[in-house]
Each structure stands twice: as C-alpha cells, then as structure tokens.
Amino acid sequence: MIALPNDWTCARCIKCVPLKEPSSGFGEKEQLLCSKIYLWCFKYKQITDPFMKFDPAKVNLRYIHIKVVAAKLSQMAYKNIPDFLRDMELVISSAVEIDEAARNHVRLFFKQYCSGVKKYLPAIRT
C-alpha cells in the first residue's frame, strides 16, 4: 500500500476557484480543476459502470479508457485543458461504441461531465 504524506488531501476536498478566463497552459490549478471534473463524473456509481469495464480485445487506437485519463492527470501529461476535455469526450464516445447497451448510462455520465465542466471551467465552451 502506498504511504501518503500527512498533508495529502483528495482533489474533491481542496477548495478552488473556477476558471473564469481561458488558460493556455496546464499547471497545478488546471490539474486540480480537471481532477475535480474527472471525480465529479463518478458522483453516481451506477452511471460509471460502463466506463470501468475494459475489454482489451475491443479497444484500439481510437479508444481511450477512463483510467488512462486519470494517469495522464496525475502525471501532468496534458498540455492544456482542451487536451483533457478531448480525452474525456473520447472516453464517452468509446464507451458507447464498446457497449451499445450502456447508452443510457453513457448519456447520464455525459450530462454529469457537462455539469462538472460548467461548474469548474465556466470560461471553457463545450
């Protein structure tokens, strides 16, 4: 088990000001805001199930798994917020293509994602 530092706090618990103006880079503030959106999408477990299923046989270069987005966030691998948003939208479209039966859950996940973007990134138009 990983030992966390004593001052560690979950991204959901850290207070932050929403992004009011577009940002060109990807620093700690942008990472925190994108992490909040990512976690906001997991507010309701029943709508996240299709995104946690992973069948490597069905995944190719057009698809991205939601865990890849989490890894890229933690590694600060995004160049800017639009890169993160593109990956999230690719995750959503991938889930529909991989699991057609989950369309209603994906629709609810997308709605939750959009509400997170509006809440934390009002300067960004989706």
Residue 6 has pLDDT above 80, yes or no: no
Q: Is residue 3 a part of any domain in this protein? A: no
Report the domain count for the chain.
1
19 CA to centre of own chain: 16
Q: Is residue 125 a part of any domain in this protein? A: no
pLDDT at 26: 93
User: Which CATH number characterizes residue 66's domain?
Assistant: 1.20.920.10
Q: Is residue 12 a part of any domain in this protein? A: no
Q: Is residue 61 a part of any domain in this protein? A: yes
- Distance, in Å, from the CA atom of 47 to the CA atom of 120, rounded to the nearest integer, reads 20
Q: What is the pLDDT of residues 56-69, one digit of tens each?
A: 565 555 677 888 89
Q: Is residue 10 a part of any domain in this protein? A: no
Q: Is residue 5 a part of any domain in this protein? A: no
- What is the band of 2 on the pLDDT scale with cuts at 50, 70, 90? low
DSSP helix/strand/coil, 119: helix
Q: Is residue 74 a part of any domain in this protein? A: yes
86 CA to centre of own chain: 10
Residue 94 CB partners (closer than 8 Å, separation 6+): 59, 62, 63, 64, 65
Among 24-33, 49-58, 103-112, name the one with the lowest average pLDDT: 49-58
List the domain range (segments joined by +) for residue 112. Answer: 28-120
DSSP helix/strand/coil, 112: helix
pLDDT at 103: 81
Q: Is residue 109 a part of any domain in this protein? A: yes
Q: What is the pLDDT of residues 70-120, one digit of tens each?
A: 999 999 999 999 999 999 999 888 777 766 777 888 889 899 999 999 999
- Distance, in Å, from the CA atom of 7 to the CA atom of 4, rounded to the nearest integer, reads 8
